[in-house]
Structure 1
Amino acid sequence: MRAAVSLLRNHFGFAHLHVKSAQFEKYRFNPLKGKPLESVKPSSHNEYSKPKCRFMQYIRAGDTAKHLGMVSENGSKMIELSTMTCASPEMMQFIQQRYCMDSLLDSSQFMEVNDVMDDLRLLPPLEAPGKIIGVTSNYYDSCNEQKVNIPKYPEFFVKFNTAVTGALDNIRAHHIAKRIDYGCQLAVVIGSKCRNVPRLSAMGCVFGYTIAQDITARDWNVLMGGQTLLSKSLDSFCPLGSVIVHKCHVPDVNNLWIKTLVNGEQRQCGNTRNMIFKIDNIIHRLSQFMTLCPGDIILTGTPAGVGAHRSPSCFLKPGDLVESEIQKLGKMRNKVVNPYA
């Protein structure tokens, strides 16, 4: 988990993450230098080195078994829950187990705490969510950038779960997509089955939060008849991770900064307080139309600064490095590669 450790421990730089199993071939990526499991603002204070309800999925080098871990905010320490408790090694099943987080934190002081070692291979925190639903134009600054009216009601799109990839994995520049764009988003992970949820109760349905990049083929989204579903669902067009942070560690989800860097240049710098439709409103509205299930993901929109609306437009190309950060949730680093790399 050199890269996993890397993303946990330090802002910039990954080492090798590797695995010798064909079963996990789809997670292959070019090694980078970095530390994805680390909090955005690490600290040497003791509290930051205690494993908390920051959950990751991983495998060990040369192994095929998945594990579920709980890592510290500075990314240096971890508890392997799937071998020390009754917790499932699968994040989806763990969410459905409905663990009491207070009890888990209390009992963690009696569990074996290990260093985050270099032999771990970081996986997407949720590999096959049942639904991935996104909100379009949900930031005031994004609407201003596009010169469009503030929407009266949220508008939604979907991505298929085959687009999911990990926090360190490659984004593939598919040959049918010529204008590939980025957009860092706060992703909400649903924790309980819900339907017709009142807005006042909506946040009780949330398990936690993670980072997503909503990669989009703008030429399909705009120029070729508005094929939004196709433009957003190409393989690798939904990087997630590196961890899911339980909501108990995010007391004010409506005041988190969001950043995207491309090749070291800051492209996006926003804050969730500028969301037009807050998370409780989004869950309330969606649940009027469909049942939301544990492990479903809601992408809550992206702030200004996407490539399509820059002057001149600036799209991703093979060789680019996309770095995504959200306060309290950590970071991702994804390299753009050609489809045959």
Structure 2
Amino acid sequence: MKLIRYGEPGAEKPGLIAPDGMRRCLAAVIDDLAGENLSPDVFARLATLDHEALPVVDQDARWGPPVGRIGTFMCIGLNYADHAAETGAQVPAEPVLFMKSTGAVCGAFDDVIIPPGSQKSDWEVELGVVIGTRASYVSEEHALDHVAGYCVVNDLSERAYQLEGTGQWVKGKSCDTFGPIGPWLVTKDEVPDPQSLGLWLEVDGHRYQNGNTSTMVFGVAHLVSYISRHMTLRPGDVISTGTPPGVGLGQNPQVFLKPGQEMRLGIDRVGEQRQRTVDGATLRKA
């Protein structure tokens, strides 16, 4: 299944993509795609519904992030060896963990705000992993049992905030709209092997990133197991698993986002996003 949330920010409703390709409403069945509603039992019940009998959603409605009430937005740094090389970093001996503010979360087609004064806003296409059941000290063998599904994440970064001055990754990753997720949550059964997915990103039609999850340093099962040994993962938590090479920071000369550009990105089997960049300074004055 492809599960969605739609509507204005803060008032999203749950839904799905029916076999006829239409967005259909699930609000009469579940209150949201969040928390315990991401469990295997709930997904099994949703799968038995007559999807084409569900109410049709206004097809012009905003696409919201497909997971609500995200508790932890965990990210993995330098998880592709060739991306580490382009940034001048060593391949890590174990996963590099950092968190992104959940305030950065937005929909797959929402505008991305370039922060006032930003000179080094950058892109990163990543496979997102959504937790469906509580995971604490789980083995790698059973780690994927705790995964509800997958989504596309654009892990945007302001490199000066991240790496210069005091060099705080969370600060450089957490600006408003720096975490587009979606457009849908693809349930785990539709992605039998998360380590064989092509992923790509373009800016204004130029393809900068073109990679495959097969080249991750640490695969999805390892990441879920590793993180669960350091903190409990709960339903609705999201893990953004790292990006392949081709970020703006790694270009020669470096290239960064400016207002008025368009990003397109996607992952095989998982979906595609599109965002327009807008000037945060202008919005702040409005």
TM > 0.5: yes
2:183 partner letter: S
**Within the alignment, does 1:82 sit opposite 2:27 as a pair?**
yes
Indicate conservation of the 8 Å contact 1:259/1:326, yes or no.
Answer: yes
Change (3 A) 1:127 1:107: closer
**Within the alignment, does 1:99 sit opposite 2:14 as a pair?**
no
Specify the alignment match of 1:219 in structure 2: 160
Instruction: Please show how residues 47-196 of structure 1 align to structure 2 within 5 Å.
Output: 53-59=1-7, 66-72=12-18, 76-83=21-28, 86-88=29-31, 90-93=32-35, 95-96=37-38, 98-108=40-50, 112=53, 117-196=58-137
SS at match of 1:236: coil
Q: How many residues align?
A: 281
2:15 partner letter: G
Indicate conservation of the 8 Å contact 2:24/2:55, yes or no.
Answer: yes
Aligned counterparts of 2:163 and 2:49: Cα–Cα separation in 1: 52
Indicate conservation of the 8 Å contact 1:59/1:65, yes or no.
Answer: yes
Aligned counterparts of 2:268 and 2:37: Cα–Cα separation in 1: 23
Aligned counterparts of 2:98 and 2:249: Cα–Cα separation in 1: 18
Aligned counterparts of 1:68 and 1:135: Cα–Cα separation in 2: 28
Structure 1 stretch displaced more, 287-296 or 126-135: 126-135
Change (3 A) 1:116 1:265: farther
2:269 partner letter: K
2:141 partner letter: L
How far is the alpha carbon of 1:148 from its aligned partner?
3.6
How far is the alpha carbon of 1:136 from its aligned partner?
0.7
**Within the alignment, does 1:237 sit opposite 2:178 as a pair?**
yes
Indicate conservation of the 8 Å contact 2:30/2:37, yes or no.
Answer: no
Identical residues among aligned pairs (%): 30
How far is the alpha carbon of 1:247 from its aligned partner?
0.4
Specify the alignment match of 2:242 in structure 1: 301
The structure, 1 or 2, with the larger RCO (C-alpha pairs under 8 Å, 6+ apart) is: 2
**Unpaired runs of 5+ in structure 1?**
1-52
How far is the alpha carbon of 1:107 from its aligned partner?
3.1
Aligned counterparts of 1:200 and 1:155: Cα–Cα separation in 2: 21
Q: Deviations over 1:58-77 (max 9, x none)?
A: 138xxx9642111047x722
Change (3 A) 1:225 1:65: closer
How far is the alpha carbon of 1:144 from its aligned partner?
3.2
2:187 partner letter: H
Change (3 A) 1:193 1:80: same
Indicate conservation of the 8 Å contact 2:2/2:187, yes or no.
Answer: yes
How far is the alpha carbon of 1:93 from its aligned partner?
4.1
Aligned counterparts of 2:218 and 2:137: Cα–Cα separation in 1: 17
1:253 to 180, 194, 210: 194
How far is the alpha carbon of 1:146 from its aligned partner?
3.1
Aligned counterparts of 1:146 and 1:229: Cα–Cα separation in 2: 18
SS at match of 2:62: strand
Change (3 A) 1:226 1:157: same
**Unpaired runs of 5+ in structure 2?**
none
Indicate conservation of the 8 Å contact 1:95/1:207, yes or no.
Answer: no
Structure 1 stretch displaced more, 318-327 or 114-123: 114-123
SS at match of 1:200: coil
Aligned counterparts of 2:26 and 2:130: Cα–Cα separation in 1: 20
Q: Deviations over 1:219-262 (max 9, x none)?
A: 11112221111111111111111101110111111101101010
Indicate conservation of the 8 Å contact 2:39/2:235, yes or no.
Answer: no
2:278 partner letter: V
How far is the alpha carbon of 1:140 from its aligned partner?
2.3
Aligned counterparts of 2:237 and 2:35: Cα–Cα separation in 1: 12
Aligned counterparts of 1:281 and 1:166: Cα–Cα separation in 2: 28
Indicate conservation of the 8 Å contact 1:319/1:335, yes or no.
Answer: yes
1:58 partner letter: Y
2:21 partner letter: S
Aligned counterparts of 1:230 and 1:219: Cα–Cα separation in 2: 10
How far is the alpha carbon of 1:113 from its aligned partner?
5.1
Specify the alignment match of 1:317 in structure 2: 258
Q: TM-score, length-normalised on structure 2? A: 0.91
